[in-house]
Amino acid sequence: MSRTSPFRQVRPVRLYQNIVDQIEGAISRGELKPGERLPSERELVGLFGASRPTVREALRVLEANGVVRSRPGDPNGPEVLPFSSAGLAKQMTRLAQLEELSIGELIAFRMIIDGSASMLAAYLRSPEELAAMQATLVAMEGSIEVGYDAFSAADLDFHDAIAQASRNRMIQICNAVVRDVVLQLIEDKVSHALDSEALMRESLAHHREVLAAIGAGDGEGAARISRRKLYDYYAGYVPEGEQATMLALLED
């Protein structure tokens, strides 16, 4: 329960792990910034006193973590990457596919995140951010005639704009992650079913309601509308038994 023991479990430390730690440490201490380059593998061999296979294993781990990227032939060496939620999205996608993560859970979570984002946006948005949201709605309207793909893309922009205005990077990340996962799991079904102008216009109307609430500073209302809209939009794709969870989020 507590963390009082002065001792740690000892386990053999692999050399490549040591290298990974050193490089990650240098980055988190700011000694290496995104865009900068690491020395070439052969130079690192000298710097760390390890062999090239070992250095390469360390680079593979860093690459898997989304920290650096190696490109063959690049004379500048591996590049330190800016943080992106891609790594997070990948992990969550794996979770969604491997584990008992159901569509209902995903949608419910999205209701929470998007609702909270709308609420925060209503209270915190700057005039510019509000204008940006309105612009995405205009884009949505224009894309209706183009087809569902374009409409869906504009829809994403709208939700991104809201997440942006929430001023909370965790929300932005979760928004991006869940959007990716949802897209991957059920968007094909939705795209076939919803490819009708009437339904897209209905969706657009819902988005307008959310934006109106945000514009009016009505956070609670924006959150409520946002959650209900998502429920209506996706409920048909969620098994009966799971809808209770989602409905619980609408009781207010």
Partner DNA sequence: GCTCGGCACTGGTCCGACCAGTGAACTTCG
Partner DNA sequence: CGAAGTTCACTGGTCGGACCAGTGCCGAGC
Q: Which of 119, 144 has the CB closer to a second copy?
A: 119
* Residue 209 lies near DNA (rule: CB under 7 A): no
Alpha-carbon distance of 194 to 14, in angstroms, equals 52
Lay out the site mask for DNA across 120-139 (x = CB under 7 A, - = otherwise). Answer: --------------------
Q: Which of 49, 217 has the CB closer to DNA?
A: 49
Lay out the site mask for DNA across 48-77 (x = CB under 7 A, - = otherwise). Answer: -xxxxxx-xx-x----------xxxxxxxx
Alpha-carbon distance of 209 to 199, in angstroms, equals 16
C-alpha closest to that of 182 among 252, 114, 251: 114
Q: How far apart, in Å, are the Cα atoms of 100 and each of 87, 96, 104, 105? A: 20, 7, 11, 10
Residue 69, beta-bridge partner list? 79
Helix axes 197-215, 148-165, angle to 10 degrees: 10
With CB under 5 to 8 Å by kind, the binding choice for 4 among DNA, a second copy, none is a second copy
Alpha-carbon distance of 240 to 102, in angstroms, equals 12
Q: DSSP secondary-structure letter at 68?
A: E
Which residue type does 186 have? I
**Least Cβ distance, residue 228 to a second copy (angstroms):** 15
Binder of a second copy out of 38, 132, 165, 174 (CB under 8 A):
174
Subset of residues 25 to 44 that bind DNA, contact rule: CB under 7 A: 38, 40-43
* Residue 47 lies near a second copy (rule: CB under 8 A): no
**Side-chain-side CA neighbours of residue 217 (13 Å):** 4
Residue 68, beta-bridge partner list? 80
Q: DSSP secondary-structure letter at 99?
A: S
User: CB–CB of 174/85 below 8 Å?
Assistant: no
Lay out the site mask for a second copy across 5-44 (x = CB under 8 A, - = otherwise). Answer: -------x---x-------x--xx----------------
Q: Contact residues for DNA (CB under 7 A)?
A: 12, 14-16, 38, 40-43, 45, 49-54, 56-57, 59, 70-78
Q: Contact residues for a second copy (CB under 8 A)?
A: 1-4, 12, 16, 24, 27-28, 53, 56-57, 60-61, 63-67, 72, 83, 85, 87-88, 90-92, 94-95, 97-101, 105-106, 108-109, 112-113, 116, 119-120, 123-124, 146-147, 149-150, 153-154, 167-171, 173-174, 178, 219-220, 244-245, 248-249, 251-252
